[in-house]
Chains A and B, each alone.
Chain A
Amino acid sequence: MSNKIILEIENIRKSYLDNNVLNDYCLKVNEGEIIALLGPSGCGKTTLLRCLCGFEEIDSGYIKLTGKDCANIPPESRDVGMVFQSNTLFPHKNVQGNLLLGISKNKNNNANERLELASNILTEIGLEGFEKRDVASLSGGEARRVELARTLLSEPKIILLDEPFSALNKDLKNKLIRDTRDLLKIKNITAILVTHDLEEAELFADRIVQMSKS
């Protein structure tokens, strides 16, 4: 973990009609740092993530990722990865097909190399040989792992996790949190976890940021 700031959020505001969700919110995240945004529902955690991804335009303030202002960059070009609260594995593709969607083609890789990348990451997340599995056949924990792997393959500068563990039972949850954290640390990837569960946040993050209703 270096001291280089990778994400800089400065005085952003976001409001819907009569509802000010984010009010002059600021946050700085260092490269390789894993932080947890902790707060009750309705405090604007999810809105913040949506703004970071580019699904929402902010009313004022700015978001800089590796020093660049994100204002006019569409989501697909922002180099942000996200694991959603709901399962977003595409049901019309198998595990391998889902992973391949995460690998960009324009680099110097051919089809075989891309398949290898997909297989390697499956080994890393402990799902070796799952390539041809139908996504509907995966357990809750397995699906989360595949989603994380798919996000990692897209090589984002920062990964956002929107309560990805909330639907799992406790034993599975703690193991998955530890595995995820280890993997992110090995790859030195910056991550922001959004959660309302203090225990989860403590287990996962280097730093906990408390959010409250504005």
Chain B
Amino acid sequence: MRQICSAAFLILCMLSTPLSGCIEGPWNSNLQRAEKDNGGDTLRILTYDIMALSDEMISAYTNQTGISVEFIRANDAGGVLETAILNKANPQYDLIIGIDNSFLGDALAFSLFKANDVNVENISQKALSSHDGSYAVPYDMGSICINYDTSFVDGENVTTPTSLWDFTESEWEGRVAVQNPRTSSPGRSFLIATTQYFAEDADESTDYTDWWAAMSANDVIVSSGWTEAYETHYSGGYGPWMDGYIGDAQAVVSYCHSPGVEAWYGDNWTQSAALNLSGASFLQIEYAAIPNGAGDISQAKSFIEYLISPEVNSQMPTQNFMYSVLDGYSLPEENGYRHHSVSPIDIQISSEDIESHIDEWLNNWDAAI
């Protein structure tokens, strides 16, 4: 045991000397690109864990084109971006799916994507509002806003908030769950929404940092991801029937159509509602893009075209719980899916603006919380 200690100590001493510069940026390493053995019949897609293209959709694609599909998975949208940056010089995949507009600016700044000429004329203006599709093609979208428990907001003791400032009142103390914008993409989206909301509201003297500081003082619950915030903390959704449920939050950051999904599975019943507040929501748009190092892009292009074809994209609300990006397809009316979803007026911001400010916002958020 003494030897274990002395060795551990040695290693520690070794490691604690600042070694910066000892190894020359291996992320630039020009490793010989491994021969691709896929011949041309396999399409390799980098995506994250909840990318929900059903098996039927994939096998239909393979049947139509003769191209088989292989997935390389990362944990989440952030993970997709990290993997893409690390493999930038030598991508082992032909297509990247799942980077959203809150991360897109970073991806473009790292020049991860190759320009494509996919025809986007069927895609709605709303879906192209953040990026025109030249590097990344939108395939689904949904607005992020605050959801609340209607059994708590009963209109008597607690009234429906009409401003985000209402959540800093004592009746909401310790009852709002948000996601850490550093580890969660809904959290990041909502942070972006707040930066714009408070810039455009009537009160010139305060901005988002004041609101976040007030929220922090009001014991806002910060979770690391969407699942924890929604399932564990939020009392309005399906959380109460999950094992890990706490139920200390009566409002949570989620999608504006999450109550719709609740109703879809809940036989047209839900006690959750989305807060229809103008300028306090962020339209999250998810993209498919071709990595910059890719060789032959025809297969990847054919998959993107398949993904935005009406037969596949119209299925997004039920397969992926997101809106279709095509004009003329809304949420299904069955089971109250559409009825329980709201479409507030989202903030307008380009992915370039997000990229240039996100570090500042994140740092200010850290400081405020």
Q: Do chains A and B touch in the complex (CB under 8 A)?
A: no
